[in-house]
Structure 1
Amino acid sequence: MARAVNAETLSLVKQWEGFRPNAYPDPGSRDGTPWTIGYGQTRIKGRAVRKGDTIAEAEAASLLVTRLAETAAQVERLVKVDLSDNQFGALVAFADNIGMGGSKKVGFSNSTLLKKLNAGNYDAVPGELAKWKYNDGKVMQGLVNRRAAEAGLWAKGAFVSTSTVEAKPGNPIKEMTTPENIGAAGGLLGGAAAVASGNGPVQYAIAALMVIAAITIAFLVIRKATR
């Protein structure tokens, strides 16, 4: 069974594509092609989108889900290393935007990003994503922002590296955000804020000590999570 994309991925693509009920020309191309509609759809009803086409949001959302499922199947086939759900989703969102590529066109399938990732270099992915910011030879701020969002999704619960631990499956940082850890550090910071609301050097000194304690707890949690 093909791997499905998670809700975070669908939300990211919807946010950056934006829903457009009326067909519009590609702002980055010289002649406006391909015309686009809905959530970045360039084809509807078995043909290319044309000027004057319209679409309802429900239909556009359905087409997007189908499109992402098709892209996800290709990404799953091409990537040879383990990925978290968010990492997989980030690559699907990225590939959906730039295309899969082929013998005459550069895309996800023949990208340096894919080569480095399949070699086990997880840490190279955010930097490789950031390189894909050009449209017709020009830097587009919208693409810069989208690549940053994809990198953010990639890093959310990702396999991380430290000075002594390589990035790899089984080394996620999600343990850092358990309720117990958040409660411990957050409680101290909240208490520090309450103490600091008083006046006088004694209150300030106590608040400072509580902040230091919270930072220490956070450090120990991170150290434990990355072992």
Structure 2
Amino acid sequence: MTMTLVPFVRRQPETLQPAGSRMARSRMPQPGTSMTAKSGMVAAVIYVPLEQHEWAALLSWSYNVGTTAACGSSLVRKINSGQPASAWCAELDRWVYAGGKRVQGLVNRRAAERRMCEGRS
């Protein structure tokens, strides 16, 4: 089976602002922004090529947690450090809390995203 790499936007890390900075917040899509715009925000902070199934899982997760949280996350840092997908796909399991409480719906969603990320869906 041949996997297609998803195009990504390559930017120099030194040109990016910290996730909480006013410059970074101004680049984040506003609520109700199209999925295309949100995917562009996530693509702007990913510096390594991803397989299509990995990108799909990452986009689903980032849409759910929000692009600000996603772009500044340790999961994105692990991706960019060159770790294999087997290492960073497991990070999805950590994102199952809302309001400090574990939410079963998020557990189910993250399990599906992890399966997708690992190419098992």
Q: Tell me if both proteins adopt one fold, taking TM over 0.5 as the criterion.
A: yes
Deviation at 1:140, TM superposition (A): 0.2
Q: Between Structure 1 and Structure 2, whose CA radius of gyration is higher? A: 1
Deviation at 1:68, TM superposition (A): 1.9
User: Partners of 2:113 and 2:35 in 1: how far apart?
Assistant: 15
User: Partners of 2:104 and 2:98 in 1: how far apart?
Assistant: 10
Question: Contact (CA 8 Å) 2:86, 2:118: kept in 1 or not?
Answer: no
Q: Secondary structure at the match of 1:156?
A: coil
Identical columns (%): 33
User: Partners of 1:91 and 1:75 in 2: how far apart?
Assistant: 9
User: Partners of 2:34 and 2:64 in 1: how far apart?
Assistant: 11
How many residues align? The count is: 92
Partner residue, 2:113 = 150
Question: Contact (CA 8 Å) 1:126, 1:151: kept in 2 or not?
Answer: yes
Deviating runs (4+, > 4 A) in structure 1?
none
Question: Contact (CA 8 Å) 1:108, 1:114: kept in 2 or not?
Answer: yes
User: Partners of 1:94 and 1:68 in 2: how far apart?
Assistant: 12
Deviation at 1:3, TM superposition (A): 5.0
Q: Secondary structure at the match of 1:72?
A: helix
Q: Which has the higher contact order (CA 8 A, sep 6+)?
A: 2
Deviation at 1:124, TM superposition (A): 2.1
Any idea what the Cα deviations from partners look like across 1:94-137, whole Å, max 9, x if unmatched?
10000012xxxxx1111010001100112222221000000000
Deviation at 1:156, TM superposition (A): 1.2
User: Partners of 2:92 and 2:39 in 1: how far apart?
Assistant: 17
Q: Does 1:79 align with 2:53?
A: no
Q: 1:93 aligns with which of 49, 60, 67?
A: 60
Q: 1:125 aligns with which of 76, 84, 88?
A: 88
User: Partners of 1:125 and 1:145 in 2: how far apart?
Assistant: 18
Q: 2:104 aligns with which of 123, 141, 148?
A: 141
Q: Secondary structure at the match of 2:113?
A: helix
Question: Contact (CA 8 Å) 1:68, 1:92: kept in 2 or not?
Answer: no
TM-score where L is the length of structure 2: 0.68
